[in-house]
Structure 1
Amino acid sequence: MKVLSQFSARPAMDGDGVNIRRVADFTNTKFDPFLMMDEIKSDDEQDFIGGFPPHPHRGIETFTYIRKGGFEHRDHLGNVKAIRAKDVQWMSTGSGVIHSEMPLADTDEGLHGFQIWVNMPAKDKMRPARYQDTSETLNPEVSNNTGATLRALAGDWEFSGQEKISAPIQGLAGGAAIADLDLGPDAITELVLKQHDFVGLYLYQGTLSSTHINTGKNTDRDNNKEAKQYIEGQYLILDSQTLLQMQAGSDGAGLLLFAGKPIKEDIVHMGPFVMNTQAEIQQAVEDYQAGHFGEIPA
């Protein structure tokens, strides 16, 4: 794989004192069509017990994926859903959503999950909100013979020359696609992602090496070449036109894959609002203060 840029997730705090790791760019749009990725990963409930009390959004799509533990989602549209391990939830907030995400009462063995923000094009930022989750639907998985398993979370994916798999959630802004890739110890895998203009990778567990796999299944390690090593917490922007080849370390690896088409529009960001102009941000604030976003039913 060819790495164009490399970033490290930074400690941050959001909601009611929730400790997270964050990768974000609201200025140079390096991750376009994506804006931000937050990771919650802790076995100590004090790191997340406060959750995310009611708050608004406008102009973005939020995509939540849970690997361990769970949240209860509530919004002003009347949706009340428990999102647990392997579930995903998508809100295309459009003109406005108020929602909350609070840890489930039975989340007593820790929490590991992600919230990803996807930008919306100007033409869609004021459309009605949409909501979908997979609490009653399985996200499809496909494995290869080297110990790698890909779980499609959004969009369509082709893995190791096998038949395309499609996630239940489709139609994200910017043609965004998201997948969870689990690599066993020393597992090798490759993906062709030439159909996407943007491809990113976040390593949330283990270590990873970039490799050059030939028909004999030799790697950089086998050829005594220097393979670049990546560690947990790193976010890589990749050349989508180069075959994505990688190998996990001896303890395996877990990573999120991001793909899509850049929207290439001006971004003005303030807290939970992402619009195209400062005037639109000010209007969002005024609309929220005036109660136009509604409220979560009791």
Structure 2
Amino acid sequence: MSLRPTLETRRATPTMEGAGVKLHRAFGFHDPSELDPFLLFDDFRNDRPQDFEKGFPWHPHRGIETITYVLEGTVEHADSLGNTGDLNAGDVQWMTAGSGILHQEMPRGNDKGQMHGFQLWGNLPSAQKMTAPRYQDMKSADIPVVTDDDGTRVKIITGEFWGKRGPVDGIAADPQYLDVFVPAGVKKTFRIDTYRRAFAYVFQGAGAFADASAPSGVLLEKEVGGEEVNIRDMSGDRTLIRFGTGDEVTVQAGPEGVRFLLISGAPIEEPVAWHGPIVMNTRAELQQAMRDLNNGTFIRPAH
């Protein structure tokens, strides 16, 4: 077994999207090869309805998949195929835009006016760019959660982990998408296929992710639950950790435990031509998408 090195640790940056939604972006619109097959990751979290209620009005997508995971509040969605519905706390929607879809996503706060969720964009390989659009809506109760003896808890959205498989299937990058909680003071190792690109995103508590390139015997500054914890090197809220290649990721939870998303997928390794919500392989394909939008042929009839 080989421990994955930490290539980079960075904080998500504030930005604004849609009709004025304030959110934090961990990556996106920079170097699409960095976390191939993933293109963008946003953390939309707010306690003030005025910072999110204008939402994401009607907009197009082609050539990608969008994965929306709601923790608090509700996201109302509708699309050009006539689909409508609500994503509630704990629910997941995996939308394959394929050949093209127009949709809107309108966040609504919980009874305290709070909204929290994530959206991840996954690329599609050239052979599937123009596939028929589809949705997979998963209710929280249908997503398996496994708990280890030490209190570690893992919600398996897609992929296989600890003998359970998430309900989302048929995804091009064959990804693994896990919501992980590790209790205070616990050190935990997670297996990841060495051929996948992988990242973690901390959104609660803090944890120190072991780095294969770091010297052993680092200074430890606090004891938590019988374990010494390297507080100084902890990754806290809204932190992205990008990993190199290897079989394992190890995290040491801090004094309040740590909750993070652990996401990996098989790289596509194809050219990327990207304009806003449309991601193709060539500039000519982007130009065709713009023509399709302008002449009303962006939405393909169902076969």
Report the TM-score range of the alignment, normalised by the length of the smaller protein.
0.7 to 0.9
Aligned to 2:201: 202
Contact 1:65 1:113 in 2 (8 A): yes
- Written as runs of structure 1 = structure 2, the 5 A alignment for 1:180-191 is 180-191=179-190
Aligned to 1:24: 28
Is residue 70 from structure 1 mapped to residue 69 from structure 2 by the alignment?
no
Letter in 2 for 1:4: L
Instruction: State the superposition RMSD in angstroms.
Output: 2.4
State the Cα deviation string for residues 210-268 of structure 1 (Å, max 9, x = none): 359xxxxxx98457989832122221122342422112111122111111111001111
Match 2:273 to one of 251, 268, 277: 268
Give the TM-score of the pair, scaled to structure 2: 0.87
Contact 1:189 1:245 in 2 (8 A): yes
* Runs of 5+ consecutive residues of structure 2 not aligned to the other structure: 212-217, 221-226
Aligned to 2:214: none
Is residue 34 from structure 1 mapped to residue 33 from structure 2 by the alignment?
no
- Written as runs of structure 1 = structure 2, the 5 A alignment for 1:81-96 is 81-96=85-100
User: Structure 1: how far apart are the matches of 2:127 and 2:22?
Assistant: 34
Contact 1:70 1:107 in 2 (8 A): no
Other structure's SS at 2:289 match:
helix
Contact 2:229 2:254 in 1 (8 A): no
Letter in 1 for 2:43: E
Q: How far is the alpha carbon of 1:108 from its aligned partner?
A: 4.2
Q: Give the 3 Å change call, closer, same or farther, for CA 107–76 of structure 1 in structure 2.
A: farther
Other structure's SS at 1:248 match:
strand
User: Structure 1: how far apart are the matches of 2:100 and 2:13?
Assistant: 28
User: Structure 2: how far apart are the matches of 1:116 and 1:171?
Assistant: 17
State the Cα deviation string for residues 36-88 of structure 1 (Å, max 9, x = none): 00111111111111011111000000000001111011111221111011100
Aligned to 1:161: none
Match 1:291 to one of 288, 296, 301: 296
Aligned to 2:51: 47
Aligned to 2:12: 9
Letter in 2 for 1:238: F
Q: How far is the alpha carbon of 1:104 from its aligned partner?
A: 3.5
Is residue 60 from structure 1 mapped to residue 64 from structure 2 by the alignment?
yes
Q: How far is the alpha carbon of 1:8 from its aligned partner?
A: 2.4
Q: How many residues align?
A: 285
- Written as runs of structure 1 = structure 2, the 5 A alignment for 1:43-192 is 43-104=47-108, 108-135=112-139, 138-158=142-162, 164-192=163-191
* Runs of 5+ consecutive residues of structure 1 not aligned to the other structure: 159-163, 213-218
Q: How far is the alpha carbon of 1:146 from its aligned partner?
A: 2.0
Give the TM-score of the pair, scaled to structure 1: 0.88
State the Cα deviation string for residues 140-191 of structure 1 (Å, max 9, x = none): 0011122211001122223xxxxx2111101222112211112232233211
Aligned to 1:245: 250
Q: Give the 3 Å change call, closer, same or farther, for CA 224–49 of structure 1 in structure 2.
A: closer
Query: Kindly, what percent of the aligned residue pairs are identical?
Result: 35
State the Cα deviation string for residues 119-158 of structure 1 (Å, max 9, x = none): 0001110111111111375210011122211001122223
State the Cα deviation string for residues 83-122 of structure 1 (Å, max 9, x = none): 0111000111111011111124766430110010000001
Contact 1:60 1:92 in 2 (8 A): yes
